[in-house]
Amino acid sequence: MLYTEGKARIECSKSTFLNPKMAGLRDLSVLFVRALGGDDKSLLDATAATGIRGIRYGLEAGIKRITLIDINKGACRDAKVNLKRNGVKAALVNDSVQGYANRGNGPFDIIDLDPFGSPVPYLYDIMKLCHGDTALMVTATDTAVLCGAHAAACLKQYGARPLHNELCKEAGTRILLGFIARAAAQFNFGISVHLSISNMHYMRVFLSLRKGAKEAVESVKQTGFAASCRECRFFAASKGTVPCLPQRCGECGAEMERAGPMWLGNLYNKSIVSRMLSAKAGITDNLAEQLSLIVKEPDTPFFYSMPAITRALGIGSVSPGLVIRLLKRRGYDAAPTQFLAEGIKTDAKLGAIVRAVKESGRAEAQ
Ligand SMILES: C[S@@+](CC[C@H](N)C(=O)[O-])C[C@H]1O[C@@H](n2cnc3c(N)ncnc32)[C@H](O)[C@@H]1O
Ligand SMILES: [Zn+2]
């Protein structure tokens, strides 16, 4: 099969993995690498399959020092053909990235880790391929685990308790980042998060490492715990290594669903996201729209789901846009979130939101 994406023409035999549905995410990754600047950077495509990512970074982001790794022989055969076909020079390694990392290779300026399922089995070894300023892109497709469908699996894999409600995608993204922050810290790296995306069946985070014991400790201190009321939808999040959350909801007294540890620092570096957005030509509408949402999204933990709140209140549905307008009129910051179509991120307290929801319900009924 010959497949065209961006500037790359890719051959893919039956046994090699290539998902055309991830084209948008690869476009976004190219934008990120471009936003990092500097074509003299070294890049590792750690789970390369056909080599499509490394090849696109070469053709579309001007990266010249590229290494591709894949454990699968057939994938490496395809990658070799694809490198040649696209005129991209790269070192091609048929090995496990873990084995490669443990033979003293690296470090790299940019690493793309895009495995099947969870990135956890790779992350410790990936840290050995990093230096104090490495940019990391990490995909997780075990979203059912991170979103709480299998709480025991999440505990085992990520050492964290997930949320299994309307907040699950954001909690899952934060659990992934929390795991990365703790893994990095063991190698004396802190993390700076540039972009976090949750979409379809994947989560993808873009970050940079910062060298130093102090940075490592600071970034672990950005992790913490969250609680979400099973009834009224009130939530609380608190940073720190010791869980410090109420068992019962302060608003209605119902039981809180508790989760963590997870990253409670920022999910976005808005100046990088804006730079990516202004150069977005060519990326799928869906992801361009998501970036536009992200630029306006208050970068604080969690949000209110309008359907969950109206259900708890026992009233009909409301327009999130109207609730946002009412909250803004009252001086609050409020905007939609990428994590839920009818979710609102705001600095307003639950009481103010409930008032705005009831009022917009009445306004719609008139
Ligand atoms: C999801 S695919 C990568 C897809 C590719 N990045 C793309 O965008 O089309 C995961 C790849 O990782 C490879 N792989 C699995 N375990 C590995 C390991 N331990 N080290 C390196 N590659 C591995 C698989 O052979 C497979 O080709
Ligand atoms: Zn409550």
Distance (angstroms) between ligand 1 centre and the Cα of 24 equals 18
Quote the crossing angle between the two packed helices 23-36 and 52-60, to the nearest 10°. Answer: 40
Mean pLDDT of 245-260: 95
pTM score, two decimals? 0.97
| Cβ–Cβ under 8 Å, residues 268 and 299 | yes
Q: Which atom, in ligand 1's list, is nearest to the CA of 72?
A: 25
pLDDT of 289 > 90? The answer is no
By the 10 Å C-beta count (0-12 exposed, 13-18 middle, 19+ buried), 110 is classed as buried
User: Minimum-distance ligand to the CA of 250?
Assistant: 2
Predicted confidence band of residue 281 (pLDDT cuts 50, 70, 90): low
Domain that holds residue 270: 2-296
What is residue 363's predicted lDDT score, i.e. its pLDDT?
A: 78
Together in a domain, 71 and 194 = yes
**Better-scored residue on pLDDT, 332 or 282:** 332
Q: What are phi and psi of 214, to 5 degrees?
A: -65, -45
Which of 116, 124, 143 best tests ligand 1's pocket when mutated (most atoms within 8 Å of CB)? 116
What is residue 365's predicted lDDT score, i.e. its pLDDT?
A: 73
Distance (angstroms) between ligand 2 centre and the Cα of 206 equals 34
Number of independent structural domains in the chain? 2
Q: Which residue has the tokens 């359907």?
A: 307
Domain containing residue 263: CATH number: 3.40.50.150
From the list 43, 102, 24, 114, the residue with the least C-alpha distance to 75 is 114
Distance (angstroms) between ligand 2 centre and the Cα of 335 equals 22
pLDDT of 339 > 90? The answer is yes
What is residue 279's predicted lDDT score, i.e. its pLDDT?
A: 82
pLDDT for 23-38, tens place per residue? 999 999 999 999 998 8
User: Which of the listed residues 243, 269, 296 is the one where a domain comes to its end?
Assistant: 296
Q: Please, what is the Cα angle at 278 between 66 and 3, to 5 degrees?
A: 45
Together in a domain, 319 and 234 = no
What is residue 283's predicted lDDT score, i.e. its pLDDT?
A: 67
Together in a domain, 28 and 145 = yes
Q: How far apart are CA 155 and CA 180, in angstroms?
A: 15
What is residue 81's predicted lDDT score, i.e. its pLDDT?
A: 98
| Cβ–Cβ under 8 Å, residues 186 and 280 | no
Q: Is the CB of 52 under 6 A from ligand 1?
A: yes
Q: How far apart are CA 301 and CA 317, in angstroms?
A: 24
Together in a domain, 316 and 179 = no
Together in a domain, 285 and 331 = no
pLDDT of 100 > 70? The answer is yes
Using a CB cutoff of 5 Å, list residues around ligand 2, an ion: 229, 231-232, 234, 249, 251-252, 254
Predicted confidence band of residue 238 (pLDDT cuts 50, 70, 90): very high
The amino acid present at 69, given as its one-letter code, is I
Percentages helix, strand, coil for the chain (3-state, rounded to 5) are 40, 25, 35
Q: What residue spans of 147-200 are helical by DSSP H? A: 151-158, 168-185
Q: How far apart are CA 114 and CA 204, in angstroms?
A: 9
What is residue 282's predicted lDDT score, i.e. its pLDDT?
A: 62
Together in a domain, 158 and 234 = yes
What is residue 168's predicted lDDT score, i.e. its pLDDT?
A: 97
User: Which of the listed residues 273, 296, 319 is the one where a domain comes to its end?
Assistant: 296
Q: Is the CB of 71 under 6 A from ligand 1?
A: yes
Predicted confidence band of residue 361 (pLDDT cuts 50, 70, 90): confident
pLDDT of 69 > 70? The answer is yes
Q: Is the CB of 142 under 6 A from ligand 1?
A: no
